[in-house]
Amino acid sequence: MTDVVTWEDAADGVLVATMDRRPANALGPPIIDGLNAVLDEAERRGTRVLVLTSAIPAFFAAGADIKHMGTVDAESFTAYGDRLRGAVERLAAAELVSIAAVEGVALGGGLELAMACTMRVSGADAKYGLPEVKLGLIPGAAGTQRLPRLVGRGRAIDIMATARQVPADEAKAIGLVDRLVEAGEARDAGLELAGQLSSLSRPALAAVLRTVDAAFDLPFAEGKRYEVEQIQELFEHGEAREGITAFLEKRAPKFA
């Protein structure tokens, strides 16, 4: 563990990572190092589901470390950006399901971090935004790419160009978050969802993620062919036989 990112077992195959860099979880080098450390641990354990949350009620994460950015030259700015992008992309590419359990605000890099997760569970008082234009910048950790995929081009431009904060109910309505719960209950709801997902077939879940991503990356006809390849692979080399057998025998499947 690190000073600002800690983790604990929540259930079989479920790891909960908690960010705690006061006052607002600015995504400076300490949290970047902590995120990489928890991903190292998840790989070592073979974690199925990672729940990412914050110990600070008012902040999931307030974004990039502006104080740090204000002290660096162009070369160091590039290096810092590369480190932050590396951690965010590593989370997005991890061979597990990740759930951002968001309370408070998720702004700038904080929202980019949440969008890199597989799913987002939001407390009712949470707010979301990409306010980088106020600094004369744009989102730099794939925010300009992930947000349109989630909410569409027009809404993404509205959110980024106005730098406004999107309330949780609107975020749910436009697809920015997947589940909306009462304020203060995001962590528990994220853990409940994680418990459900952790009991499912890991190869099948991974295939769901790959094929859904392919729907954005490939032409429709190629995506359909890729889907066929994936389901055949699951039947021949995955856990489909166990799932089918368990269904026919009216028992719970025994997935690895």
Q: List the domain boundaries for the chain.
A: 5-198, 202-248
Which position among 26, 64, 168, 207 bears the catalytic label? 64
**CA 19, 21, 26, 30 torsion-angle sign:** negative
pTM: 0.96
CATH H superfamily, domain 5-198: 2-enoyl-CoA Hydratase; Chain A, domain 1 (3.90.226.10)
Token representation of residue 133: 């234009």
Which position among 42, 92, 112, 194 bears the catalytic label? 112
How does pLDDT run along the chain (256 residues), one tens digit per residue? 789 999 999 988 999 999 999 999 999 999 999 999 999 999 999 999 999 999 999 999 999 999 889 999 999 999 999 999 999 999 999 999 999 999 999 999 999 999 999 999 999 999 999 999 999 999 999 999 999 999 999 999 999 999 999 999 999 999 999 999 999 999 999 999 999 999 999 999 999 999 999 999 999 999 999 999 999 999 999 999 999 999 999 999 999 8
Q: Which fold has domain 202-248?
A: Lyase 2-enoyl-coa Hydratase; Chain  A, domain 2 (1.10.12)
Give yes or no: 112 in active site: yes
Give yes or no: 70 in active site: no
Going by C-alpha positions, the residue among 199, 28, 181, 27 that lies closest to residue 101 is 181
Write down the residue that tokens 């590039």 correspond to.
78
Give yes or no: 64 in active site: yes
d(CA 138, CA 106): 16
Which position among 28, 34, 109, 238 bears the catalytic label? 109
Which position among 114, 132, 189, 243 bears the catalytic label? 132
Give yes or no: 95 in active site: no
